[in-house]
Amino acid sequence: MTINKSLFIQSSTQGYRLLALVLVSLILMFADSRFGYLQQVRFYASYTVTPIHWLSEIPQSVSNQLADVFRSRNELLEENERLQEALLMQQYQLQKIDHLSAENQRLSELLNASAIVDDIVVRAQLVSESPDPFRKQVLINKGTAHGVYEGQPVLDADGLFGQVTSVEPYYSWVQLITDSQHATPVQVNRNGVRAVVSGTQGSQHEMIMNNMTDTADIEVGDVLVTSGLGQRFPAGYRVGVITSIVRDPGQPFARVTVVPTAKLDSSRNLLLVF
């Protein structure tokens, strides 16, 4: 068997070099520890490696900042959701307070009206609208699994929105109060005059006050609230505001136009009244 002498000599030379480097290192470490010869060298060498430290810290710093941004965003979204729900509930209570104030002025007592604020409400969200142009309906994300039933009143933050007409396990269809097939018993909040308002075939933002005589005590700007008659809607929820009264001597009834207070074309957060 032939031994490669050049390989052996090369390996020996590398071993001697390694040993020499180890000895030099030990001598320098000993001299530095005893006499501090390399202190200045280390001091100035630290300037050269400082940018390397800065560069090595950049990924961690960026990662921490991004984590803080996403964490702050999630916290803000959660807080916004809580505030929206709290605001919706406060606006719901405000609707009832307005009605109770009017009742207090007319009757000087609230014993019969105090039960109005005890209604149980559950939050729902609008998820879709009916594709049928002749039906004013929307789909909400609550159904029989949540206790929803046909005929159930639906509100938004500003007033009566509609009522449930069809129920599925996890979704329900809500007929808007401006649908031409929908009628709502109301009363004038100012004086208690009762009437019925119904939707129209065309506009989603208009209702008609039916069978009001020319002598009826109604005015433009009067607020209409649910009267509670028919036992479909609890009394006291805002329905609309009278915007126009046309009295024609040749007609037995005045034409009264009402604009709903609910934001039928923009509200997404709704309340189901139980």
Q: Where are the domains of the chain?
A: 67-116, 122-272
Q: What is the pLDDT of residue 96?
A: 73
In whole angstroms, what is the distance from residue 180 CA to residue 203 CA?
10
Do the Cβ atoms of 163 and 184 come closer than 8 Å?
no
Q: What is the pLDDT of residue 116?
A: 45
pLDDT tens per residue across all 274 residues of the chain: 444 555 555 566 777 777 888 887 777 777 666 666 566 666 666 556 667 757 766 777 777 777 777 667 778 888 888 888 888 888 877 777 777 777 666 555 334 433 444 678 888 999 999 988 888 999 999 999 999 999 999 998 888 999 999 999 999 999 999 999 999 999 999 999 999 999 998 888 899 999 999 899 999 999 999 999 988 999 999 999 999 999 988 888 999 999 999 999 988 889 999 8
Q: What is the pLDDT of residue 10?
A: 57
C-beta atoms surrounding 216 within 10 Å: 17
Q: What is the pLDDT of residue 5?
A: 54
Q: The domain 122-272: what is its CATH number? A: 2.40.10.340
Q: What is the pLDDT of residue 83?
A: 86
**Which amino acid, 48?**
T
In whole angstroms, what is the distance from residue 230 CA to residue 232 CA?
5
Do the Cβ atoms of 207 and 258 come closer than 8 Å?
yes
Q: Is 38 helix (H, G, I), strand (E, B) or coil?
A: coil
Write down the pTM of the prediction.
0.63
Tell me how far CA of residue 261 lies from CA of 110, 148, 156, 195, 205, in angstroms: 25, 24, 9, 17, 9
Q: What is the pLDDT of residue 47?
A: 58
Partnered with residue 270 across adjacent β-strands are 124
In whole angstroms, what is the distance from residue 187 CA to residue 229 CA?
10
